[in-house]
Amino acid sequence: MKLRLSFYLLFAITTVLLVLLITVNPNPGANGSSEKVSRTHSEKNSSFHHKDFQSTIQLSAIGDILIHSRVYDDAKQKNGGYDFTPMISEVKPLLEKADFTMANQETMVGGTEIGLSTYPSFNSPFEVADGFQEAGIDLVTIANNHTLDRGEKAIMSALNYYDKIKMPYVGSYKNNNDAQTPRVINKNGIRLGFLAYTYGTNGIPVPEGKPYLVDLIDKEKMKEDIHKIKQRSDVLIVSMHWGLEYQRLPNDEQKDLAQFLADQGVHVVIGHHPHVLQPMEWVSGKNGHEAFVIYSLGNFLSGQEGTFKEIGGILSLDIQKTTNKKGTNIQILNPEVNPTIVKSNQQQNYRVHSLENVNEKQNEEMIQHMNQFID
């Protein structure tokens, strides 16, 4: 009797287990459905446990470093070397304040071995790079109308020196491999991508088969470059050597290119070449994207004299990156320009000053000039 009861009890338990198993998985052969549910659940868990990330950095930029002979003669030392650090010592704290500072090095720093030279075909001492690096410059843009002034030899000499002192550069390259290497720098978790272009090279032809020596403004190439670097960066910053010299407002071509860059998703456009300050503005691109554009930062250090040519600016802005389960969002915040002015005593003792410390009224006028396009 006990044996019969045990048999019925075992049969009942087995039956219940089979029913439960069929209820939980009515189609035990459909492993794909089961895996899909599990994978979706894993994604939800991943989102649930996702840690929000936010980082903000300050980016700064300065205008043209245009080293005429009267400037490098003033920097010459008794030992035959050059020292440019006293010229920029007053504004060094402003350059160092930012997390990342970039400059437009308009004259090639090819060094003394190939012979220094001034306008119209420039070549500058290596010590220019040393002085600005010591003052806080983290990257130089070198695509401009003077890139080819002294040919490939000066370019290679300059780029080799930049590599020696570990100064990143963009806009001119050693070879195709160098040109195809994206300039992306990670700063506090924000990946900054850099490109630089120029309208031309003062009629000097780019050597055949060596387009890497200078990046020229070409919308199709720029579009390809932007698409490539966007895959590796959070924020895209493009330096543009454009416009007309000594004109205080951007022309139609600059406006058209700014719109093109905004449409491509560029975040910040920094202009050079006019040698005077031109305003900044927000440019609305496709899909609601907004680009910050400053049309010209003027001269930062040069031997040029005359109204407005001695005045430049230090641009500063905040870049904020926020990442959460919805994705990554980039904001460009708080752009402002601190005007600067170059002063000398009969072409000696060149110094870059904060304009506010020299002429408060003119400083206010320059700030109003720069903000006239800002809503």
pLDDT band at 44 (very low <50, low <70, confident <90, very high): very low
Give residue-wise pLDDT tens across range 336-375: 999 999 999 999 999 999 999 999 999 999 999 999 999 6
Q: What is the DSSP string of 332-358?
A: EEEEEEEEEEEE-SSS-S-EEEEHHHH
Helices (H) and strands (E) in the chain, counts: 12, 14
Q: Mean pLDDT, to the nearest integer, of 4-19?
A: 43
pLDDT band at 22 (very low <50, low <70, confident <90, very high): very low
Mean pLDDT of the chain: 89
Q: Which residues of 166-205 are buried (b: 16+ CB within 10 A; e: fewer)?
A: ebbbbbbbbeeeebeebbbeebeebbbbbbbbbbbbeebe
pLDDT band at 307 (very low <50, low <70, confident <90, very high): confident
Bridge partners, residue 54, by sequence? 322
Three-state DSSP class for 168?
Answer: coil
Look at residue 93 in the predicted model and tell me its pLDDT: 97
- Please report the sign of the dihedral spanned by the C-alpha atoms of residue 291, residue 296, residue 302, residue 307: negative
- Residue 123's identity, in one-letter code, is N
Find the angle CA(92)-CA(97)-CA(102) to the nearest 5 degrees: 75
Give Cα separations from 340 to 210, 235, 267, 359 (angstroms).
37, 27, 25, 10
Task: Measure the CA–CA gap between 91 and 87, rounded to whole angstroms.
Answer: 9
CB 342 within 8 Å of CB 67: no
Give residue-wise pLDDT tens across range 192-213: 999 999 999 999 999 999 999 9
Q: Mean pLDDT, to the nearest integer, of 223-247?
A: 98
Q: For 142-146, 149-153, 155-159, 304-308, which range has the lowest pLDDT when averaged over its residues? A: 304-308
